[in-house]
Amino acid sequence: MLNRILFFLAISHLPSAICHLHAQDSLSVQKKPEQTIEFLGEGFLNSNTITNDFILAFYKGQFINDVLKEGVTEKILLSNRLGGASKLGFTYSEHSLEGNKKPVFSFSFFDRQHLDMKFSDDLFNIIFYGNKKYFTNQSAYLGDFQLNLLRYQQFRFGWNFSGDATHGSYGFSFSLLSGEQNVFVKAPTATLFTSDDGTYSGNYIDFAVAMQVHQTDTANKKIFAQNGMGLSADFFYELPYTVWKKPGTIIFEVKDAGLIRWNSNSMHYSADSSYHYDAIDVSDLFNLDSMASPLNIDSVIDKNTKFEKGQYTTNIPFTLDIHTKSFYGKQIAFEKGIIFWFNTSAKPYYYAKLHFIVGRKKYADIAYIIGYGGYGRFNAGLEAKIDFAKHYSLHVIDNYLFSGIAHTSYGMGLYLKLVRRF
Amino acid sequence: MIIDIGLTQKYPSLRGRFARSNPSEIFCEIASPKSGLAMTLVRKSYDNLKLIIPFLIPYTIYLFFFSSCRKEAGHPSWDVDVLAPLVKSTLTINNIIPDSLLQQNTDNSLDIVYQSSLYSFSVDSLFQIPTATIDTAYWLPFPIFLSQLSTIVPATTDETKNTQGGAELTDVILRSGTIEIMLRSQVKSMIDFTYKILSAKDPFGNVFNKTFRIPAATSATDGVYTATFDLSGYKLDLTGLSGNKVNTITSYYNAIISPAPFGDTVTIQPYDSVVISNKFIDIVPQYAKGYFGHTVSNIGPDSTNFSLFNHIIDGTLQLEDIDVGFSIENSIGADARVTIDTLSSINTRTGSTILLAHSIIGAPVNLNRAVDNNGNVTSSTYSISFNPSNSNIKQFVENLPNKISYLMDLEINPLGNVSGSNDFVYYDKLMKTQLNMAIPLSLIANNLTLADTLDFKMDKSAAHVNSGTLYLYAENGFPFTAEAQLYLMNDNFTIVDSLISAPNAILAPQLDANFICAGKRLTKLAIPLDEDKLQLLKNIKKMYIKMKYNTAGQPNYVKIYSFYEMNVKLVGDFNYTVGK
């Protein structure tokens, strides 16, 4: 695997150019440095239902008590979302000489992970409360379920072109993707009915499900394992404008539009069946070893299950971000926008940032953030971009800064980037 | 100066280093010599780049280990309340009484058919095979010089007659057994000893003929030779050389000085001896013929186990009818006379004994000899039936015996040797007495209690059950009420707790005018399992099950039909920890 990384590292060693970092992964260029290298680590996990305490207890392998469960069920909806992503890597940029209009070239390597889940309230209750409390003599609707776990490594090559007063800046990049793992489950229809009417034949469980499962090679799960290859592309266009004598920019940005083709060792399972279960049949009650089968399903209706191996394609999650940034003097800017998530369960994310910009030699930008949508509910946080030494800048964003205050808060995450200019 | 950045330890095929080629220029190189690929970054300002190194190290660590930290955390767990049917079964009469004991009548009513052997004959009670044929010593009172191949024990033919009680056997075929031969010599030379049993022939007609070499004796020890030979299948002619004797085994033996490297002659010292002995071991005849003598044997008092009611520990059982056949089958080629002095039903649990009252008791029964047609034996059988009209057999059986006791007299050949010494017996064709019971399952049960001990081991998945209740749904189609209880036993087989809370009776359905069940009746029993009881269940290895039956429609008898059944389903309602 490392050979492959080195291969891409090697071919990225292209002639120097004056650089300008790529869109949202970069800081604004202040002093036309020749080269920059930046280390980026970001991740978030958010839900409109699952609280942070619940997630942390689950993650740490703790006992999930009734308080944690009730924290979820108080706000649970018919359809719920849980999602997250992480991105870890570095970017090396080479800038052209001052005044030169050559594009800024950058190369990046990122380890990417995505989690996307959509589930019903009944599914949560069945899993964490069991079938007795809410579903005796009732149907639990477990459908409209989707789970997508995705991990891949990204080798990105980008070019940015600076604009002027009449022409916007723009940039594009393409990435080679090395697919590591994917688990995809989709169950549009699933119901579980638990009957207990007090009669002998009235004790049974009916389960109907239509589902598809795709999973990459489970025998090849080591770090940076390669189970597929893919391509993706990014694009942005930044157009300056002036409204009411206030300068501003509007930015259109597409990130990670692409796909991964998984190899032929991938597994596919599909089912469209109904099951009726009313106990394991034993021929001799005093000898439980006499059971007919370990799990005796009394009747299977429309049994249509299939298992096979083969290639498949995953459209990776990508975003379209449209936002504007208006400047009110040199020290205040207001930014607002919307992010559309594709190939995920997330809703559009609306956000606004109020920037306070200070400093001349030492640049500092502090922004207050509020947002709504995505995988979660309302969120609020802070963003800071600071030049803290002659050649260093730090960019920190916490969109869920106030989530840690309340026990039943939603969402957690951090964006951290360190830039070294040469 | 070159600094190896340490990648080579994890990836031996890589080379990574920072190097300073001159005071103002450094380069960073990561290369894979194996693949021929390399990346080199050259930077003129060493001072700037060195500041990145502190960030590279934690960053690399984070990159490699971040994704694995979750795996080291424990598994989350939570409690759920589960309601699910667990096991179900349909109980028929076969689950109570083995189907091998049941016989279905044309009206679907059932009879219990049960056979019990009272007494079985053995060949030993007729005669015994001789145990030895030779036991002799040969010696000389004065010194003698013998050359090689000289005879030291002359050829001798010997007839050994064994008395077999009153039996006079002429032919025997051995089923199994061995002969052990031991030779002891004080002669200081090897001796070749030849031994034949002239009256013993193997299945191919060859006489038993063996030659042994006895080791030379020394001044300190005798020369000893021991051998054992299998005699299975050998046929013994016990009529001697003349052919008109009985119980006689004919043998032949002789001994010579072995050709050996001790010189031409051997000196036999005074009183040097050669001792020859043999014996038959564990001889079992397959067939014997002759006259078995006139013998009178007292059999018993003795008892035999009667297992039909083994699991009944309490209560009473009234049977509407019963028929017990008693038979004596004589497969021996000899006349016999049997007198049954007593026949008793013994219930050791209650201490009750019922003596059978019937005209056969105390009266001699003559049994003709069996007929042998070249191995096809035609037996002679005497049979008699005990029923409520000619005996007290009903009380005899309703005593629910676990033992049958008997005292009998057996006389063989009461009229003497009327067969001309043609009595015969085969190993597997002897005389046996048997009780053949046919009990129609038309009965009245009063608190009839059956019990049994079962092995028990809680399933591993059940170990995560915290508490709950098991519900037993029983649709009873039998004409009786059954009170069920399950007891937990510790390692010392002591009952420490019970499972089913009261009421624990599975109720009987309604009976129609003919005392036949009109459908089934549902009963739901609860088995509460609190934490203490579950802990007990996890530890015990035995469970004691007790069922108490009371027939419906009393005081009328109810018949048990083959179509009766009880549907049983166990439903679990419990709190379970997932992921523990």
The model's pLDDT over B26-45, given as tens digits with 9 standing for 90+, comes to 444 444 444 333 444 444 44
Q: What is the pLDDT of residue B462?
A: 76
Q: What residues of chain B lie within 8 A of the CB of A203, using their CB?
A: 85, 473, 569, 571
Token pair of B432 as six digits: 């046996």
Strand locations in A55-131 (E): 63-64, 79-94, 104-120
DSSP, res B479: S
Residue with tokens 């060859």, as numbered in its chain: B206
Q: At what angle do helices A66-73 and A52-59 cross, to 10 degrees?
A: 140
Q: What is the pLDDT of residue B234?
A: 95
Q: What residues of chain B lie within 8 A of the CB of A284, using their CB?
A: 89, 95
The verdict on a CB contact (< 8 Å) between A291 and B80 is no
The model's pLDDT over A57-108, given as tens digits with 9 standing for 90+, comes to 998 899 999 999 999 999 899 999 999 999 999 999 987 655 556 788 999 9
Token pair of B198 as six digits: 């002239």
Where does the pLDDT of residue B263 fall: very low under 50, low under 70, confident under 90, or very high at 90 and above?
low
Residue type, A62: Q
Q: Pick the residue of B5, B87, B95, B544 with the most A CBs within 10 A to test the interface with A by mutation.
A: B87
Average confidence (pLDDT) over B272-301: 88
**Is residue B459 helix, strand or coil?**
coil
The verdict on a CB contact (< 8 Å) between B11 and A2 is yes
**Does residue B265 surpass a pLDDT of 90?**
no
The verdict on a CB contact (< 8 Å) between A127 and B51 is no
Nearest to A24 by CA among A235, A293, A267, A329: A235
The model's pLDDT over B42-75, given as tens digits with 9 standing for 90+, comes to 444 434 434 443 344 334 333 433 444 444 457 8
Token pair of B11 as six digits: 């990836």
Q: Pick the residue of A1, A122, A131, A285 with the most B CBs within 10 A to test the interface with B by mutation.
A: A285
How far is the CA of A377 from the CAs of A350, A373, B185, B215, in angstroms?
11, 5, 110, 106
Give the count of beta carbons closer than 10 Å to the beta carbon of residue B133. 23
Radius of gyration of chain B (CA): 44
Report cis status (omega within 30 of 0) of the bond before B154.
no
Taking phi first (over 0 means left), then psi (-120 to 50 degrees means alpha), and beta for anything else, what does residue A329 get? left
The model's pLDDT over B134-189, given as tens digits with 9 standing for 90+, comes to 667 676 667 778 888 888 888 888 888 876 678 899 999 999 999 999 999 888 88
The verdict on a CB contact (< 8 Å) between B84 and A127 is no
Which of A69, A133, A281 lies closest to B88 in CB terms?
Answer: A281
- Where along chain B do the CATH 2.60.120 domains lie? 110-124+295-440, 127-291
Give the count of beta carbons closer than 10 Å to the beta carbon of residue B542. 18
Nearest to B441 by CA among B525, B320, B266: B320
Q: How far apart are CA A353 and CA A341, in angstroms?
A: 19
Q: What is the pLDDT of residue A265?
A: 94
Where does the pLDDT of residue B447 fall: very low under 50, low under 70, confident under 90, or very high at 90 and above?
very high
Average confidence (pLDDT) over B555-567: 92
Selected residue with higher pLDDT from B362 and A284: B362
Token pair of B19 as six digits: 């190097």
Token pair of A335 as six digits: 């930014």
pTM above 0.80, yes or no: no
Q: What is the pLDDT of residue B131?
A: 64
Where does the pLDDT of residue B291 fall: very low under 50, low under 70, confident under 90, or very high at 90 and above?
very high
Q: What is the DSSP string of B123-186?
A: GGGT------S-EEEEE-SS-EEEETT-EEEEEEEEEEE--BTTBEEEEEEEEEEEEEEEEEE-
The verdict on a CB contact (< 8 Å) between A200 and B95 is no
The verdict on a CB contact (< 8 Å) between B95 and A420 is no
Residue A350 CB contacts under 8 Å (≥ 6 apart), including other chains: A337, A338, A371, A372, A373
CATH code linked to domain B110-124+295-440: 2.60.120
Range with the lowest mean pLDDT among A375-384, B9-18, B482-491, B540-549? B9-18
Q: What residues of chain A lie within 8 A of the CB of B45, using their CB?
A: 422
Q: Tell me: domain B127-291, CATH 2.60.120, correct? A: yes
The verdict on a CB contact (< 8 Å) between A131 and B82 is yes
Q: What is the pLDDT of residue A130?
A: 93
How far is the CA of B540 from the CAs of A281, B412, B429, B488, in angstroms?
25, 56, 48, 7
Average confidence (pLDDT) over A177-194: 95
Which of A62, A127, A418 lies closest to B55 in CB terms?
Answer: A418
Q: What residues of chain A lie within 8 A of the CB of B51, using their CB?
A: 391, 420
Selected residue with higher pLDDT from A262 and B118: A262
Q: How far apart are CA B104 and CA B110, in angstroms?
A: 5
Where does the pLDDT of residue A304 fall: very low under 50, low under 70, confident under 90, or very high at 90 and above?
confident
Q: What is the pLDDT of residue A405?
A: 62
Q: How far apart are CA A385 and CA A402, in angstroms?
A: 19
Q: What residues of chain B lie within 8 A of the CB of A109, using their CB?
A: none
Pairing assessment for the beta strands B505-506 and B442-455 based on DSSP bridges: unpaired
In A, minimum Cα distance to B56 occurs at: A39
Which of A127, A136, A279 lies closest to B83 in CB terms?
Answer: A136
Range with the lowest mean pLDDT among A248-262, B23-37, B163-177, B543-557? B23-37
Q: What residues of chain A lie within 8 A of the CB of B474, using their CB?
A: 200
Q: What is the pLDDT of residue B136?
A: 72
The verdict on a CB contact (< 8 Å) between A57 and B76 is yes
Taking phi first (over 0 means left), then psi (-120 to 50 degrees means alpha), and beta for anything else, what does residue B497 get? beta
Q: What is the pLDDT of residue B370?
A: 95
Q: How far apart are CA A238 and CA A168, in angstroms?
A: 5
Beta bridge mates, A415:
A42, A397
The alpha-carbon gap from B20 to the nearest alpha carbon of chain A, in Å, equals: 18
**Does residue A44 surpass a pLDDT of 60?**
yes
Burial label, B482 (beta-carbon count in 10 A; 0-12, 13-18, 19+): buried
The verdict on a CB contact (< 8 Å) between A128 and B81 is no
Burial label, B555 (beta-carbon count in 10 A; 0-12, 13-18, 19+): exposed
In B, minimum Cα distance to A11 occurs at: B39
DSSP, res B540: -
The phi and psi torsions of B295 (rounded to 5 degrees) equal: -125, 150
Where does the pLDDT of residue B4 fall: very low under 50, low under 70, confident under 90, or very high at 90 and above?
very low
Q: Pick the residue of B79, B89, B96, B544 with the most A CBs within 10 A to test the interface with A by mutation.
A: B89
Q: How far apart are CA B266 and CA A335, in angstroms?
A: 130
Pinpoint the alpha helices (H) of B361-408: 393-398
Residue with tokens 């200081």, as numbered in its chain: B188
Q: What residues of chain B lie within 8 A of the CB of A134, using their CB?
A: none
How many contacts (CB atoms, under 8 Å) link A and B? 149
Q: What is the pLDDT of residue A165?
A: 65
Q: What is the pLDDT of residue B27?
A: 43
The verdict on a CB contact (< 8 Å) between B73 and A286 is no
**Does residue B14 surpass a pLDDT of 50?**
no
Nearest to A148 by CA among A184, A97, A120, A176: A184
The alpha-carbon gap from A31 to the nearest alpha carbon of chain B, in Å, equals: 17
**Does residue B260 surpass a pLDDT of 70?**
no
The alpha-carbon gap from B570 to the nearest alpha carbon of chain A, in Å, equals: 8
Q: How far apart are CA B240 and CA B247, in angstroms?
A: 8
Token pair of B396 as six digits: 């005899």
Which of A13, A58, A277 lies closest to B39 in CB terms?
Answer: A13
